[in-house]
Amino acid sequence: MKSDRELADIAIEAIKNSYSPYSDFKVGAALLCRDGTVFTGCNIENAAFSSTVCAERTAFFKAVSDGKREFSAIAVVGGKNGTVDGFCPPCGVCRQVMNEFCGEDFKIILFNGKDIKGFTIGDLLPESFGAKKLCE
Ligand code: THU
């Protein structure tokens, strides 16, 4: 199983594929499945800005479309020009996607090139709207 730091290093590698000609803000993600498989993702921008997809959702959608549904952790890194010198917390939409597939034991790992921070989805998306609300 991968350590937090190993997962962060895979996320840093994923930054290389970021397509971000408009913001030049490059993000990489590494999503660890419960079976040990890792899916990477990068942000993919679009001239029609709202069509942009974040690195975290790229990783989730790659994994789910390959049949994965159970996840342990995601590492997220990013920065202007691809320089990782600050934390890059997931946006609200990505938090909502994590909430769909992940429980309280899922770890969201942020790395700034020096230190690691870990969060649960409850930390980042309290009082969330999820599947339970629709199925109650
Ligand atoms: N971005 C991500 O990839 N993940 C996030 O959680 C926050 C933002 C990307 C989207 C866009 O390409 C760039 O960062 C600037 O917003």
Which residue among 17, 44, 52 is best mutated to probe the pocket of ligand 1, counting the most ligand atoms within 8 A of its Cβ? 52
Return the pLDDT at 135: 83
pLDDT of residue 29: 99
Closest CA to 110 of 22, 34, 11, 17: 11
Mean pLDDT of the chain: 97
Per-residue confidence band for 1, with pLDDT thresholds at 50, 70 and 90: confident
pLDDT score at 36: 98
For residue range 70-89, what is the model confidence (pLDDT) as tens digits?
Answer: 999 999 999 999 999 999 99
List, chain by chain if needed, residues with CB within 6 Å of any ligand 1 atom. Answer: 20, 23, 25, 27, 43, 45, 52, 54-56, 90-91, 94
- pTM reported for the whole predicted model: 0.98
The residue that leads in pLDDT, 136 or 41, is 41
How far is the C-alpha of 112 from the C-alpha of 85, rounded, in Å? 5
Q: Mind listing the pLDDT tens digit for each residue in 51-64? A: 999 999 999 999 99
- Section 97-122 average pLDDT: 98
63-97: burial string, b at 16+ Cβ within 10 Å, e else: bbeeebeebbbbbbbbbeebebeebbebeeebbbb
Atom of ligand 1 nearest to the CA of 43: 3
Strand 25-33 vs strand 71-80: parallel, antiparallel, or unpaired? antiparallel
Cα-to-centroid distance, 37 and ligand 1 (Å): 24
pLDDT surpasses 90 at 47: yes
Instruction: Report whether pLDDT(136) > 90.
Output: no
Give the tokens for residue 3: 């350590």
**% of the chain exceeding 90 in pLDDT:** 97
Specify the residue with its C-alpha closest to ligand 1, atom 2: 54
Cα(75)–Cα(55) distance, rounded to whole angstroms?
Answer: 10
